[in-house]
Amino acid sequence: MSHKDAVRSAITSVLLAASIATAAADETSIQLTEGPGLTQVQATCSMCHSLDYILMNSPFQDKAAWEKTVNKMVKVMGAPLTAADITTVVAYLDTHYGKVAPAAP
Amino acid sequence: MDRRQFILGSTSALTGGVLLPGIVGRAAAQDLPAGAVASGILDALPGKRPLIKRSFRPPNYETPVGYFREAFTPNDAFYVRWHTGVPDIALAEWRLRISGPGVKSEREFTHDALRRKFKTAEVAAVNQCSGNRRGLFGPHVAGVQWGLGAMGNAVWSGVRLKDVLEDAGIAASALEVIGNGADAPTLTGPDFVKSLPMWKALDPDTLIAFEMNGEPLPTWNGAPARLVAPGWTATYWIKALSELTVTDKPFDGFWMKTAYRVPKGMFGASGFESQDTEQNSPITAIKVNSLVVDPAPGVVLERGKRVEVLGIAWDGGSGIRNVEVSLDGGKTWRDAKLQRDLGRYSWRQWRYAIKPDQAGAMTLMARAHARDGSTQTDTLVHNPAGYHHNVVQKVDYHVA
């Protein structure tokens, strides 16, 4: 086991311990809106971060901005999303957490 | 009343997830994205007081402004910012390795060996996240939506980075010092690794710190050791430091080459030429800034009663020359009274007495000037990553 692997394993243990210890007030309290794409969001985005990142970054990103974010997560951060998943996830984010259109005059 | 009671006392209800307009400040809460206000609950990490939660995982927690009444921010109220999971390394197990083409010989130190071999050094310095106040950008930009509290002031203590590097012997070809921490990405993303130019690495105030405010670093703030690069934003203050590599060419990791960048020339010279490109520069020194701490925005002031306004001001290390206050929308300014100078990298507390004589709305503005001649901006200098928000603050009160 390399040093980095050892550290990674230690980090995982710490995260697991932390998630058990603070189960009452942790990220499981985050509720995203139901809709097509939520399954993919929960399965992949949450591999690396809690889903409050989505809430926090809303509602000011238009579809192009969400697309840029999702593509960065896939290309740079390694999120395992297929091309079809990307379309679904971007549509979900745009529909439920996208930029609110200005009110009609 | 202890600090915790004060903070708790200043909001109406604090059980579970409540919103925080009273703590974040009315203006700030209004300017943050609605989703950030809604999800920014008070939550206590183990060993920390309740802080403003921006994200649970990785943990990103902001210090409520009320804690900035103190010259040095208590460790258990100090903000928390991680890109990945938080390493938990016992001091006895910890090692620091120094290698690379820029050193004459490799080194590996335990904590005891480092402390025995090198003189202890300390520095009082503001640690401010590059993205502090990003959430107040208009239009908003993506990222952690920080309000006013992704910063803190502390006395950092450890050994000089310079002494450790010189012990390994610095080669003539040395260009940058790369710092890597024990944190690692969950998937295949880039490891969080940052470099410093040699001049900054060799600055006697740049430290490998083990303590803050006289106590061991909390795990949340980088135990067992973190880099301290006073005057530069916290992205360079690598936490859970484990490796130093002295290179002879510009380090091209994602977090240097692509992230933490500002458009070239927008904020002046970076001081980090080996990382400048034609389009952009790395974010480096903190811009001069100030913050009104007390009374909190939105507070009702009593007409005819004298109130002392308390604030802080800081910059990238030239020091604060003066802080001015305006009560007439910026037409006239008068100097605030600067408090004790705790060092050029520390923030400087200031006080200004007011006696509101007219009932109704009242707006107070504060503007800091640094010794290098720089001052805060009147309007936001918008940039894609949401850095260097140092717009002159306008704080609204009501006089009755």
Please report, for chain A, the start and end positions of each structural domain, with discontinuous segments joined by +.
Answer: 1-30, 31-105
Mean pLDDT for the stretch of residues B216-223: 98
Average pLDDT of the residues in B105-113: 98
* The domain made up of A31-105 is a member of CATH 1.10.760.10: yes
Give the per-residue pLDDT at A83: 97
B39, B134, B252, best to mutate vs chain A, most A CBs in 10 Å: B39
Q: Is A80 within 8 Å of chain B by CB?
A: yes
- Tell me if B31 sits within 8 A of B135, measured CB to CB: yes
pLDDT score at A100: 83
Taking residues B16-38, report their average pLDDT: 61
* pLDDT score at A105: 62
Q: Give the closest residue to B181 by CA, choosing from B192, B197, B189, B165.
A: B192
CB distance from A94 to chain B under 8 Å? Answer: no
Q: State the CB neighbour count (10 A cutoff) for residue B333.
A: 16
Q: Which of residues 38 through 77 in chain A touch B, CB cutoff 8 A?
A: 47-50, 52-61, 65, 68-69, 76-77
| Distance between A1 CA and the closest CA of chain B, angstroms | 15
Q: In the structure, what pLDDT confidence band is assigned to residue A101 with cuts at 50, 70 and 90?
A: confident
Residue pair B51/B44 in contact (Cβ under 8 Å)? The answer is yes
Do B177 and B236 touch, CB atoms closer than 8 A? no
Nearest-CA distance A37 → chain B (Å): 19
Q: Is the pLDDT of residue B139 over 60?
A: yes
* pLDDT tens digits for range B242-293: 999 999 999 999 999 999 999 999 999 999 999 999 999 999 999 999 999 9
Searching chain B, which residue's CA lies closest to the CA of residue A96? B35
Average pLDDT in chain B: 93
Q: Taking the CB of residue B257, how many other CB atoms lie within 10 A of it?
A: 16
More confident residue, B184 or A18: B184
pLDDT at B16: 33
pLDDT of B72 over the 80 cut:
yes
Q: What percent of chain B has pLDDT over 90?
A: 92
- What does the pLDDT look like over A3-54, one tens digit per residue? 444 444 444 444 444 443 443 359 999 999 999 999 999 999 999 999 999 9
Class (C level, CATH) for B289-399: mainly beta
- Stated length of chain A: 105
Q: Where are the domains of chain B?
A: 95-125+152-282, 289-399
B95-125+152-282 carries CATH number 3.20.20.110: no
Smallest CA-to-CA distance from B397 within B367, B371, B352, B359 is with B359
Q: How confident is the model at residue A104 (pLDDT cuts 50, 70, 90)?
A: low
Q: Do A78 and B188 touch (CB under 8 A)?
A: yes
**Where does the pLDDT of residue B1 fall: very low under 50, low under 70, confident under 90, or very high at 90 and above?**
very low
B6 — pLDDT class (breaks 50, 70, 90): very low
